[in-house]
Amino acid sequence: MRSIVLHIQDDDCFEARFQAALDIAKAFGGHITCVQAIPFDVMAPGDVFGTGAAQLLPILRENADALRQRVEERLADEDVSWDWVQDFDAPGHMLMAHAALADLIVLGTNEPRGGRGVSPLAGEVAIHARTPVLAVPPAVRGFDASAPAVVAWNGSIEASHALRAALPLLLRAATVELVTVEETRGKRAFDLPPTEGAEFLSRHGIECDMVAIPLRDGSAQDALRNAVQVRRAGYVVMGAYGHTRLRETVLGGVTRGLLANPPTPLFLCH
């Protein structure tokens, strides 16, 4: 985890993801690329000639520069290397463009433009980027790479990708548990049993416990959330499930359910 892309925006998840990115950079001797997108979709209805937008753009730039100055002053006091990218662009486009050679993208779980719903940005980047995402909820005060880790395992290709991508973190975890929620859905052709995941980890020197949780009342995400809280996990590794429908990213039920109220940071990979 040497190359970290951090989403810069003044929302209620910023402090949490800023601290998480700092902790990971310090733990791995990493570099943080701060990506700050200045929104440009400011055309008001009836503003045919863009007069209002032209007047608003300097204000957006001024606000963005003020945030940049505050964050850069804080980074100057930290023992990490960093650089800054700022442009008028969509956040998802900028994050994915600068993540091509990154090990991790750090962003928030909440809607960055306000509100507490599931962040469409987190879903878009997790599904479309080839780089794993760490989605950080607002209550988090840092990231401890040595904390217990929970791997949400259902044997899918997405879960396998997430497990492989999370190896640098899992090598430092105090404990690793491969948690499977036993659902009644039919097994897919390429689903792998938990033993395959455990054997993969063992080849990399990581011991793990396999835990099967029967699904009784509630949903799979509720069962996973409870398992994470009981084990006091520092983070959850899971596949990001979803697809695109026209121009919309449609997240799977478990992914969306955990992003809506995550008990801890989610390491997502599609």
- Are 116 and 159 contained in the same domain? no
- Are 127 and 248 contained in the same domain? no
Q: Tell me, yes or no, whether 240 lies in a domain.
A: yes
Tell me what pLDDT residue 188 has: 58
Q: Tell me, yes or no, whether 178 lies in a domain.
A: yes
Tell me what pLDDT residue 219 has: 78
- Are 18 and 57 contained in the same domain? yes
Region of 184 please: left (phi>0), alpha (psi -120 to 50) or beta. Answer: alpha
Q: Tell me, yes or no, whether 144 lies in a domain.
A: no
Domain boundary among 108, 136, 164: 136
Measured CA to CA, the distance from residue 144 to residue 105 in angstroms comes to 17
- Are 158 and 55 contained in the same domain? no
Domain boundary among 81, 113, 136: 136
- Are 132 and 160 contained in the same domain? no
- Are 90 and 185 contained in the same domain? no
Domain boundary among 136, 165, 185: 136
Measured CA to CA, the distance from residue 35 to residue 170 in angstroms comes to 26
Domain count, the chain: 2
CA-nearest of 134, 118, 159, 104 to 250 is: 118
Measured CA to CA, the distance from residue 114 to residue 116 in angstroms comes to 7
Q: Tell me, yes or no, whether 142 lies in a domain.
A: no
Domain range for 224 is 149-269
- Are 107 and 200 contained in the same domain? no
Measured CA to CA, the distance from residue 180 to residue 242 in angstroms comes to 19
Tell me what pLDDT residue 247 has: 45
Residues of the chain with pLDDT under 50: 43-44, 48-49, 245-248, 250
Q: Tell me, yes or no, whether 143 lies in a domain.
A: no
- Are 170 and 117 contained in the same domain? no
- Are 131 and 193 contained in the same domain? no
- Are 121 and 175 contained in the same domain? no
- Are 40 and 72 contained in the same domain? yes
Measured CA to CA, the distance from residue 32 to residue 268 in angstroms comes to 19
> What CATH number corresponds to the domain at position 16?
3.40.50.620
Run of H or E residues at 107: strand 104-108
Residue with tokens 């396999």: 210
CA distances (Å), origin 36, targets 7, 22, 63, 95, 126: 6, 17, 12, 9, 18
